[in-house]
Amino acid sequence: MKLTTWPVIVAQALLTAWLLHLLRRCVFPSTSAWWLVPVVAVLCVASPLPWFVSQLMPDVFTGLLVIAFVLLIAVPARLSRRERVFLSGFGAFAVAVHTSHLPLALGLIVVLVPLRRWLGADGPLGRAGLARVIVVPALAACALVGVNLVGHGRAAVAPFGNVFLLARVLYDGPGLDALDRHCPAAGWRLCRYVGQFPGDSDRFLWSANSPLQRAGGARLISAESDAIIAAALRDEPGREARAFAINALSQLTRFATGDGLDPWPATVRPVIARAFLPAELAAYDAARQSRGELAIPASLQALHRSAAVAGLIGCCALLLVRRRDPVALAAVAILLALLGNAIITGGLSAVHDRYQARLIWLATCLPVLAGPVLPREWLNRRVRIAMARS
């Protein structure tokens, strides 16, 4: 049986539209359902959201996970029982699809739940509401442990996740220095490749002839990764801390649209040829991306960056003018997610534009959703003042 990817794209689009509808209905209840049409139009033109919706990647679920937490924490009383249950289950799925989502979810819970009433959440959360929030990362962690136990024989959330951290420490400098100092006495598999490492961490992780692959792959190198990381941190803790901060700050400012649109002939095409319909393979081969011709125009890139910066300013403004309101909690959640995501991905993995771009569209979304609300409130306030004076 052959496969097609289109149902996945349709499902991602419908999920995104539905969560945006819930965000509008529950956080901006005075707006019309029709307001979602221009909001989506703006996001399609001025943000990277449609790129992530149409990709077979877990990145679209990063922003949707933040929306789910905003709804479950800020306005649970405005959701139906079925909606609350679905959001918990969807949130668990969204956490499970990418390793970085688990620490992001835990960070959002730790910060937003204690501050929810101060930020203006609607009504008490209660034990049931708190359980619905906590079950999101708990279910995801259990699912990941179970899948990895069956698939890899290791009861772990990320059985080979320390290899990504190893790559980060190596290419920050302390890791390569540790290999120079401790090899060959340490007996690590990577010792035999000292001096042969490629120029960046991506090639170390993914190239077929990298030291990682030649030494036996992630499964074998994972067993010694902790020892190399520990040696690097013990020898040069200050240098690694500085590199961590620099990488996180760099990731915070890197959110260009289109990261990953280069061709993938050695990794993606063989899978499509083996498992997908012939028409899908023909379409893939004919696509501009496969021919190396797909790129984001400079004008669109500038529009996305300008809209993102304006959105960040708008979120800060909403936080000031809508204090003690679910809108304030939504703004804090978005800003916190952007900061936490930069620390998790840039500091612990590698700096890539797509990591931050997968969330930056939320900064554009919230002020646009608030578009009809603030002018109406300002006008009503001016009318009340005029009436009081007359």
Per-residue pLDDT of the chain (390 residues; tens, 9 = 90+): 567 788 999 999 999 999 999 999 999 998 999 999 999 999 999 999 999 999 889 999 999 999 999 999 999 999 999 999 999 999 999 999 999 999 999 999 999 999 999 998 988 999 999 999 999 999 999 999 999 999 888 888 988 889 999 999 999 999 999 999 999 999 999 999 999 999 899 999 988 899 999 999 999 999 999 999 999 999 999 999 999 999 999 999 999 998 888 888 877 888 888 888 888 889 889 989 899 888 889 999 999 999 999 999 999 999 888 878 899 999 999 999 999 999 999 999 889 999 999 999 999 999 999 988 766 655 455 545 555 666
Residue 3 has φ and ψ, to the nearest 5°, of -115, 165
Tokens of 223: 């067993």
Residue 378: per-residue pLDDT:
53
What tokens does 47 get? 């943000």
pLDDT score for 366: 96
pLDDT confidence of residue 385: 53
What phi-psi label fits residue 156: left (phi over 0), alpha (psi between -120 and 50 degrees) or beta?
Answer: beta
Q: Is 67 exposed, middle or buried (0-12, 13-18, 19+ CB in 10 A)?
A: buried
Hey, what are 315's tokens? 């979120």
Q: Are 345 and 19 in contact (CB under 8 A)?
A: no
Q: 62 Cβ partners below 8 Å, 6+ apart?
A: 94, 98, 100, 101, 104, 337, 341, 358, 359
| Secondary structure (3-state) at 3 | strand
| Beta carbons within 8 Å of 221's beta carbon, 6+ residues apart | 163, 166, 189, 190, 212, 215
Read off the pTM: 0.92
DSSP 177-233: HHHHHHTTTT--GGGGGTT---SSHHHHHH-TTSHHHHTT-HHHHHHHHHHHHHHHH
Q: In sequence order, which residues have a C-beta less than 8 Å from that of residue 17 and are 6 or more positions away?
A: 36, 40
For 293, the enclosing helix (H) or strand (E) is: none
Instruction: Determine the pLDDT at residue 335.
Output: 97
Half-sphere CA count of 225, side-chain side, radius 13 A:
22
pLDDT at 3: 72
Give the count of alpha carbons within 13 A of 230, CB side only: 6
Rounded Cα–Cα distance for residues 27 and 126 (Å): 19
Report which DSSP code applies to 342. I
Which residues are 3's β-sheet partners? 276
Q: What's the length of the chain?
A: 390
pLDDT of residue 34: 93
Q: Is 110 exposed, middle or buried (0-12, 13-18, 19+ CB in 10 A)?
A: exposed
Asked whether the beta carbons of 26 and 299 are under 8 A apart, the reply is no
CA distances in angstroms from 71 to 35, 116, 129, 245, 340, listed in the order given? 19, 11, 11, 31, 19
DSSP assignments along 38-100, one per residue: HHHHHHHHHSSHHHHHTSSSTTHHHHHHHHHHHHHHH-GGGS-HHHHHHHHHHHHHHHHTSTT
CA-to-CA distance for 235 and 238, rounded, in angstroms?
9
> Quick check: 212 and 221 in contact, CB under 8 A?
yes
Alpha carbon distance 189, 337 (integer Å): 37
Classify residue 74 as exposed, middle or buried by CB count within 10 Å of its CB (0-12, 13-18, 19+). buried
pLDDT at 384: 54
